Amino acid sequence: MEHRSLFEPTSMGAITLKNRIVMPPLTRQRSSQPGDVPTPLMARYYQQRASAGLIISEGTQIEPRGKGYAWTPGIHSQAQIDGWRTVTEAVHAEGGVIFAQLWHVGRVSHHALQPDNAAPIAPSAVQAQKAKAFIETGPGTGTLVEPSIPRELSVAEIKALVELYAQAARNALSAGFDGVEIHSANGYLVNQFISAHANQRTDEYGGSLHNRLRFLREVVQAVSAVVGSDRLGVRFSPLFSSTEEDRVYIGFVEDDPHQTYIEAIKVLEQEGVAYLSIAEADWPNAPDLPEAFRREVRSTFTGRIIYAGLYTATRAARLIESGMADLVAFGRPFIANPDLPRRIANGWPLNTLNTVGLYGGDEQGFTDYPRYFPGKAHA
């Protein structure tokens, strides 16, 4: 077996994982319309990849206002819960473990995606820059658009949003998920509260870093009360570069990203969260996370640490063996290789990613990637 450290079982809170290979949240825009309901095709897609030690679902919006992209699934209606149940049952039938990623885009939306064509909601009325929403223009067709100017939330509305996260967690359990991940990355709602660039409030949710972390803290506490801290993860995307390209792909570069995210991770440690997922910049020549930051992450957080980025199996195994990570996520390789763990273990070649069907569509580029069989001719 190659890269043996990737195949050592590990515990994660209340769950034992069969390997250290994670399928991270990957937006695929395949929900049925109207209603943003998960489909049997989606169940097949996740079932094909159940050999991962852990699957984290694509982002699933916790309420109608949380939607920033057409055709993404939700987890706030009974039809959506029932649709997700077909997914979790399919994954469990193959011995897999799957968490739901709870998602709210906040200001990264457009009034065409909002109930009653309203403005998106955000901590402050600051329009998202270098970001795009995606709206439907016809059956199966859509286009990227500039996000609309958002409306600032009242304190009462913020409190209600915290409860919406808790309700989404209840819905996830009802749908059969093994746990949930709070999406606090990539410039979306929780990240907007954390960031001094998007959060210009002067009340208890803004100003100081302690106040900007209040929404994260309250959401973590509310969701933990539903699912248990041992079945809860949180995802961050700290960025240590401020180039134009970096802002386009991630959203926020804090004035002091090291302090901002170490303090955010302390919130997770205090609440006993099972895992921390860190999404690294994942484009060619992207900036690496500083080693000093990785070391302080490890010394600050006692739960499981997942890194996701442009990892090869060799680089992932090296990171785990160094003690800096417990699991590593592979995004694009898992899209193209439903049997990715077996390919890694045996040193088999990987399928090439098909850019057709990455976002929206049918089976093409979604469930039609072949498994590898030794001795069989491969194109």
Chain segment 256-290, per-residue pLDDT in tens: 999 999 999 999 999 999 999 999 987 777 778 99
pLDDT, residue 378, reads 56
HSE-CB for 268 with a 13 A CA cutoff:
29
Determine contact, residues 301/265, Cβ cutoff 8 Å: yes
Determine contact, residues 145/134, Cβ cutoff 8 Å: yes
Chain segment 312-347, per-residue pLDDT in tens: 999 999 999 999 999 999 999 999 999 999 999 999
Strands (E), the chain: 10-12, 15-17, 21-23, 54-61, 98-103, 121-122, 133-138, 141-145, 151-152, 179-183, 232-236, 275-279, 304-308, 327-329
What span, in angstroms and rounded, lies between the C-alpha atoms of 63 and 160?
Answer: 11
Q: Which residues are catalytic?
A: 188
Q: What is the DSSP letter of 37?
A: B
What span, in angstroms and rounded, lies between the C-alpha atoms of 17 and 7?
Answer: 10
What span, in angstroms and rounded, lies between the C-alpha atoms of 101 and 334?
Answer: 17
Beta-bridge mates of residue 180? 100, 232
The band of 251, judged by pLDDT with boundaries at 50, 70 and 90, is low
pLDDT, residue 239, reads 84
> What's the per-residue H, E or C state across 71-127?
CCCECCCHHHHHHHHHHHHHHHHCCCCEEEEEECCCCCCCHHHCHHHCCCEECCCCC
- Residue entry with tokens 């929403």: 133
Domain ranges of the chain: 4-346
CATH of domain 4-346: 3.20.20.70
Token pair belonging to 271: 């609440």
